[in-house]
Amino acid sequence: MATLFYLFLPFFLFLSSCSQAETKTDDALTITDANLAQIDTAGLAKATFAGGCFWCTEAYFERLKGVEAVISGYSGGSERNPTYEQVSSGLSSHAEAVQVYYNPKQITYSELVKVFFDTHDPTTLNRQGPDIGKQYRSIVFYRTPQEKTIVTDYIKKLNESGKHKNKIVTIVQPFKQFWPAEAYHQDYYARNPSDPYVVSVARPKVRKFEAAYNQKLKPEYRK
């Protein structure tokens, strides 16, 4: 039986990959600037990260106290108005990313950076678990010199700590543009609890995060 399991393991991983999600057509509308305008951004700061499948990354950050909204999308590439089909197939230069709108009086940029590095493997090049390709590369997009310093100092600290067997490969680059993903990707984890990828890959990761960050979570997510 063990031999059969390992024979079919690549097939199961293929089926569960974020990039193999069925494209929805009923509400596959791109989030527009008008949609984003519905978020009350007064007093909020923005942070942008790419750390693998955005369904997981979005779910982590939206659970944190001080985070008011998280938008899944694409960043780090040169193409304008990229689509999920282009990005997930590796036909664009973008990575799956999230844009986090947060209250800096309740949670700091440094705390967000720590969460980012705690919730994915920053040592695997162009890969997160079953999701393989440059669209899943690890990136922090900084907006100010201070943010760049925070990120580079934290990476240095991680490398020196020996927490990871291999060196951090996370890219640190200036923020240029964020393209919101199609509507059906937004809040995907919560709206699709029976999705095979959510069940087999995302849910165990999110539950592990909730246990580790229980005191930092919004009340409705505390155990």
Question: What is the domain-level CATH number for residue 55?
Answer: 3.30.1060.10
The count of domains in the chain is: 1
List pLDDT tens digits, range 36-58: 556 677 789 999 999 999 999 99
pTM of the model: 0.87
Nearest to residue 175, comparing CAs of 32, 71, 76, 74? 76
CA–CA separation, 100 and 71 (whole Å) = 7
Catalytic residue check, 53: yes
Nearest to residue 101, comparing CAs of 136, 127, 73? 73
What is the pLDDT, as a whole number, of residue 16? 45
Cβ atoms of residues 98 and 54 within 8 Å: yes
- Rg over alpha carbons for the chain, rounded to the nearest Å, is 17
List pLDDT tens digits, range 153-196: 999 999 999 999 999 999 999 999 999 999 999 999 999 999 99
CA–CA separation, 25 and 184 (whole Å) = 9
Residue 16 domain-assigned? Answer: no
CA dihedral 102, 104, 109, 115 (to 10 degrees): -60
Cβ atoms of residues 209 and 119 within 8 Å: yes
Average pLDDT, the chain: 88
- Two structure tokens written together for 188: 């995907």
List pLDDT tens digits, range 66-109: 999 999 999 999 999 999 999 999 999 999 999 999 999 999 99
Residue 18 domain-assigned? Answer: no
Cβ atoms of residues 57 and 51 within 8 Å: yes
Residue 137 domain-assigned? Answer: yes
Residue 10 domain-assigned? Answer: no
Residue 189 domain-assigned? Answer: yes
CB within 8 A of 97, min separation 6: which ones?
Answer: 48, 49, 50, 54, 57, 72, 73, 74, 75, 76, 139, 141, 178
pLDDT of 117 > 60? The answer is yes
Residue 221 domain-assigned? Answer: no
Q: Name the strand (E) or helix (H) holding 207.
A: helix 203-212
Looking at 31, 50, 53, 71, which residue is catalytic?
53
For the residues 188-208, what does the mean pLDDT come to? Answer: 97
Residue 4 domain-assigned? Answer: no
Range of the domain at 129: 28-201
